[in-house]
């Protein structure tokens, strides 16, 4: 059982089966946990993740456009704020300590794995509705929340990635996950009623599962790219 981020997330998480475990227990994550992840691999990931967050923020902004209630608007706007003004700041600070400035981060060439993931999420929003977007966006937000809690409970004392782990285990980030999860539950109830019996269930599950697979590829990119 993972953290409680709402019943819709729990349903999608279960439906993703082994792919969710591949994501949250990836070798990259284990390297963060015990400190064995090479610094070069972490920086490759961090630079690409900064670029990813630029597009991810745009995707959440598109979700704001497709919102139907004030609750949805507030959650989407708050998520964009958290991504742009807080999460991206961690990347900037960490990379600055390694001599990589923000202009270099913003202008970094996107890896193929990054292009695949970010464009998939934006395409889900352009083709589909608010629920399509949530299914595609949720693995990143909730997955990092779950990973943060997992690593905070089991990390090695001398891992150099303590600050990264703390960012996602932090109560404020956990609140973002819980708030988004509650909003998604309300959005599902408003639009389709009982998701488990809705004709849209399979489509939304496929959105979530595909995004989860793309998260696995993103971790692997950090390990593999030279």
Residue 1 has pLDDT above 80, yes or no: no
Residue 216 within any structural domain of the chain: yes
The answer to whether residue 203 sits within a structural domain is: yes
The C-alpha atoms of residue 226 and residue 218 are separated, in whole angstroms, by: 14
Question: Tens digit of pLDDT for each residue in 33-64?
Answer: 999 999 999 999 988 988 898 899 999 999 99
pLDDT tens-place string over residues 125-170: 999 999 999 999 999 999 999 999 999 999 999 999 999 999 899 9
Per-residue DSSP letter, 195: G
Which CATH number characterizes residue 92's domain?
1.20.910.10
- Whether 79 is covered by a domain: the verdict is yes
Q: How far apart are CA 140 and CA 143, in angstroms?
A: 5
The 8 Å CB, 24+ separation contacts for 124-130 are: 124/207, 125/59, 125/62, 125/63, 125/66, 126/62, 128/207, 129/66, 129/191, 130/63, 130/66, 130/67, 130/68, 130/72, 130/187, 130/191
Encode pLDDT of 82-101 as tens digits: 888 877 888 888 888 888 88
The Cα angle at residue 205 between residues 58 and 177, in degrees rounded to 5: 50
Q: Using alpha carbons, list the distances in angstroms from residue 165 to 107, 136, 169, 217.
A: 26, 23, 6, 20
Considering the entire predicted model, what is its pTM?
0.94
Compute the distance between CA of residue 31 and CA of residue 159 in angstroms, rounded to an integer.
9
- Cα dist from 40 to 37, 108, 110, 114, 224, whole Å: 8, 16, 17, 18, 11
Would you say residue 225 has pLDDT above 80? no
Residue 20 lies in a domain: no
Domain span at residue 157?
Answer: 39-224
- Count up the domains in the chain and report the number: 1
What pLDDT is stored for residue 93 in this prediction? 84
- Give the lowest-confidence range in 18-22, 89-93, 119-123, 195-199: 89-93
Averaged pLDDT for residues 95-119: 89
């Amino acid at each position: 059982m993972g953290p409680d981020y709402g019943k819709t997330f729990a349903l999608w998480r279960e439906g993703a089966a082994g792919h969710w475990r591949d994501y949250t227990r990836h070798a990259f994550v284990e390297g963060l946990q015990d400190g064995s992840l090479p610094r070069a691999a972490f920086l490759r990931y961090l630079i690409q993740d900064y670029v990813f967050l630029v597009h991810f923020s745009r995707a959440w902004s598109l979700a704001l456009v497709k919102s139907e209630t004030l609750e949805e608007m507030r959650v989407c706007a708050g998520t964009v704020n958290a991504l742009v003004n807080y999460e991206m700041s961690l990347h900037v600070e960490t990379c600055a300590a390694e001599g990589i400035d923000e202009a270099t981060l913003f202008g970094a060439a996107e890896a193929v794995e990054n292009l695949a993931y970010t464009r998939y999420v934006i395409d889900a929003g352009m083709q589909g509705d608010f629920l399509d977007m949530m299914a595609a966006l949720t693995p990143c937000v909730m997955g990092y929340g779950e990973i943060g809690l997992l690593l905070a409970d089991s990390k090695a004392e001398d891992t150099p990635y303590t600050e990264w782990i703390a960012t996602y285990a932090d109560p404020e980030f956990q609140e973002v996950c819980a708030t988004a999860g509650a909003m998604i539950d309300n959005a599902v109830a408003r639009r389709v009623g009982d998701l488990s019996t809705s004709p849209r269930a399979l489509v939304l599950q496929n959105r979530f599962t595909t995004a989860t697979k793309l998260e696995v590829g993103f971790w692997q990119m950090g390990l593999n790219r030279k």
